[in-house]
């Protein structure tokens, strides 16, 4: 099985097992939106922004992500598995190189999707009974289990759907508007590359309009691993970067504009154990994740 989402560098062993158990989208570990994360605008350190880029009013929008009741720093790197906005399909189910230490930054890809492809998704959601009044299909979900979320904006109407994460890859269901129909649609989204292959264009690297950055105390390196120190490229020292995160010693912010242009190439060239050194000599480790169109920053 391919590992498809970057795991935070300081997960506890229990959280690692939980993260590796995310069986979704054709039986593989899917990229997810972290606990409490999901579509919507949010505030960054520099003010109110739409972190991944705005979604035009009335346009089609889709995002599928997962949440679980874990500490927020343990789900920070979870990405939405599928985002469709502005006629572009962004695949968050990325393969992470099986090396240690792993890369700090995980890049995504995007492909144009045709109007016929979008129409097929809407038709499938309607046939599955997911565009009506019922939105919560999680009545029988186990406490503490992973929740699957789908946001669909169709003809100006937003449908926020939730249900248990499917345990198989079935795209059949017992009846429209049921939990099995929700699961079937979720699984169908995981087959977009094959289901709607004729409606997808050439894959290209996704260029984010914003990234979320989490500062944490420097990670300890195992014996024999050399840790590289890298100059922090932003003007703000760590002590004033962003805002406190989740009531912890971590600090977090969405980075955009000129700061993004300075920081992105540095984190792309770094790994999960890289220590960043600010102008005061303070050292921090980072967690970094792309923010997608319409998605709320995990920084809150």
Give the span between the Cα atoms of 256 and 95, in whole angstroms.
Answer: 25
63 and 180 housed in the same domain: yes
Do both 193 and 212 map to the same domain?
A: no
Closest CA to 93 of 214, 179, 193: 193
Same domain, 19 and 163: yes
Does the residue 197 lie in any domain?
A: yes
Average pLDDT, the chain: 82
CA distances to 1, 124, 188 from 137, rounded to whole Å, are: 28, 17, 17
Average pLDDT for residues 7-34, to the nearest whole number? Answer: 34
Of 26-40, 80-94, 233-247, least confident by mean pLDDT is 26-40
pLDDT score of 112 more than 90:
yes
d(CA 144, CA 254): 28
In a domain, 295, yes or no: no
Q: What is the CATH number of the domain that holds 187?
A: 3.30.1560
CA distance 129 to 294: 24
Decide if 1 is inside a domain: no
pLDDT at 247: 76
- In order of 13, 90, 176, 265, 266, the CA distances from 33 in angstroms are 20, 14, 26, 24, 24
Of the candidates 288, 297, 291, which has an alpha carbon nearest to the alpha carbon of residue 102? 288
pLDDT: which is higher, 56 or 236: 236
| In a domain? residue 47 | no
Domain count, the chain: 2
- Please tell me what DSSP assigns to residue 239: G
Gyration radius of the chain over CA positions: 19
Provide long-range contacts, Cβ within 8 A and 24+ apart, for 17-21: 18/68, 18/70, 19/74
Domain hosting residue 110, numbered range: 13-41+55-204
Question: The tokens of 173 are what?
Answer: 């269901």
The pTM (predicted TM-score) of the whole model is: 0.81
18 and 113 co-located in one domain: yes
One domain for residues 216 and 282: yes
Cα(first)–Cα(last) distance of the chain, in Å? 32
Q: pLDDT tens digit string along 203-226?
A: 999 999 999 999 999 978 888 888
- Claim to verify: residue 213 and residue 150 sit in the same structural domain: no
């Amino acid at each position: 099985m391919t590992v498809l989402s970057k795991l935070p560098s300081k997960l506890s062993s229990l959280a690692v097992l939980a993260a590796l158990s995310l069986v979704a989208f054709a039986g593989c570990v899917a990229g997810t939106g972290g606990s409490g994360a999901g579509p919507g605008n949010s505030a960054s350190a520099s003010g109110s922004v739409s972190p991944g880029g705005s979604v035009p009013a009335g346009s089609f929008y889709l995002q599928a992500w997962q949440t679980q009741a874990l500490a927020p720093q343990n789900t920070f790197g979870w990405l939405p598995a599928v985002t469709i906005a502005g006629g572009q399909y962004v695949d968050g189910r990325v393969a992470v190189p099986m090396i240690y230490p792993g890369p700090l930054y995980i890049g995504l890809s995007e492909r144009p999707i045709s109007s016929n492809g979008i129409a097929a998704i809407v038709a499938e959601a309607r046939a599955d009974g997911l565009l009506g009044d019922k939105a919560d299909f999680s009545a029988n979900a186990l406490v503490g289990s992973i929740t699957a979320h789908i946001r669909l904006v169709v003809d100006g109407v937003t449908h926020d759907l939730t249900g248990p994460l499917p345990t198989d890859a079935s795209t059949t269901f017992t009846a429209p508007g049921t939990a099995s129909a929700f699961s079937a649609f979720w699984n169908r989204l995981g087959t977009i590359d094959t289901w709607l292959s004729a409606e997808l264009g050439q894959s290209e690297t996704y260029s984010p309009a914003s990234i979320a950055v989490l500062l944490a105390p420097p990670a300890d390196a195992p014996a024999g691993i050399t840790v590289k120190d890298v100059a922090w490229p932003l003007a703000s020292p760590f002590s004033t970067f962003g805002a406190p995160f989740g009531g912890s010693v971590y600090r977090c912010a969405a980075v955009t504009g000129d700061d993004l242009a300075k920081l992105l190439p540095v984190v792309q060239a770094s790994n999960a154990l890289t220590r960043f050194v600010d102008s005061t000599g303070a050292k921090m480790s980072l967690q970094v994740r792309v923010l997608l169109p319409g998605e709320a920053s995990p920084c809150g």
